[in-house]
């Protein structure tokens, strides 16, 4: 919420005007995701987080491109013209362009690795929110009355093996929200000497490293829900392993 408050000389840039509604939707989704996680409704939080994923990437790619902003505005049926997979690819191309401007190497292999892992996270959220046997079996564990019987009633999932699921939902939601916010902020091109700019920068760094610590807490723990259909993966993630380890 700090990003739009930073003083700028171009508040009515078409990219920002077009991206702002989707950024607002992503922030609403983030708030709802946290409330549901806090109450123990993990699968429902994943459903909202999947919505957040798409809203955040739409905001990110539109904020970073006048051409894509125009494409979004010209949609005949009122829907955004890109599905989740293409949004992951467009957002990764945006990140690639930023890296090249900053003089950092970014290869085609890195691009393939990055968009695939981004889409993998979306597919995982879908495994939790869709009617899958994995999600249904995991959810019923919270109402088991013995080894073979469970109660058909609503209720939160506060079991220990759900902590990994909660942590992953939150991590994905925060990472995608941050991507959208950063893209919006870059196009905003705010006044670096302003107090609002410094406050925003400090908060972004705090969130970035906070997410990293959150992920470390659950790193290498087995998730009770997996992405089983991996036919979309055409890479070995070699560059990700080089950058972040196994």
Residue pair 68/75 in contact (Cβ under 8 Å)? The answer is: no
pLDDT digits (tens, 9 = 90+) for 167-208: 999 999 999 999 999 999 999 888 888 898 898 888 888 888
Contacts of 39 (CB under 8 A, 6+ apart): 156
pTM listed for this prediction: 0.91
Number of H helices, E strands in the chain: 9, 0
pLDDT digits (tens, 9 = 90+) for 27-76: 999 999 999 999 999 999 999 999 999 999 999 999 999 999 999 999 87
Which domain covers residue 146, as residue numbers? 3-244
For the CA atoms of 29, 31, 33, 35, the dihedral, rounded to the nearest 10 degrees, stands at -150
Q: Which of 72-76, 95-99, 181-185, 230-234 has the lowest mean pLDDT?
A: 72-76
Q: How many structural domains does the chain have? A: 1
């Amino acid at each position: 919420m700090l990003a739009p408050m930073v003083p700028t000389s171009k508040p009515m840039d078409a990219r920002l005007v077009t991206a702002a509604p989707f950024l607002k939707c992503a922030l609403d989704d983030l708030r709802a995701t946290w409330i549901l996680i806090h109450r123990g409704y993990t699968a429902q939080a994943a459903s909202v987080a999947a919505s957040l994923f798409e809203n955040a990437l739409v905001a990110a790619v539109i904020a970073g491109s006048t051409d894509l902003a125009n494409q979004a505005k010209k949609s005949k049926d009122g829907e955004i013209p890109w599905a989740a997979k293409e949004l992951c690819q467009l957002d990764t191309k945006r990140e690639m362009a930023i890296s090249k401007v900053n003089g950092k190497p970014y290869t085609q292999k890195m691009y393939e690795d990055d968009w695939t892992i981004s889409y993998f996270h979306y597919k995982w959220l879908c495994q939790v929110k869709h009617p899958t046997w994995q999600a249904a079996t995991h959810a019923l564990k919270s109402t088991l009355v013995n080894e073979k019987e469970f109660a058909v009633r609503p209720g939160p999932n506060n079991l220990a093996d759900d902590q990994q699921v909660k942590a992953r939902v939150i991590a994905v939601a925060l990472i995608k929200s941050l991507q959208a916010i950063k893209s919006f902020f870059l196009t905003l091109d705010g006044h670096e000497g302003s107090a609002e700019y410094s406050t925003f920068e400090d908060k972004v760094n705090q969130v970035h490293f906070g997410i990293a610590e959150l992920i470390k807490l659950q790193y290498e723990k087995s998730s009770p829900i997996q992405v089983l259909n991996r036919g979309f993966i055409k890479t070995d993630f070699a560059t990700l392993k080089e950058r972040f380890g196994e």
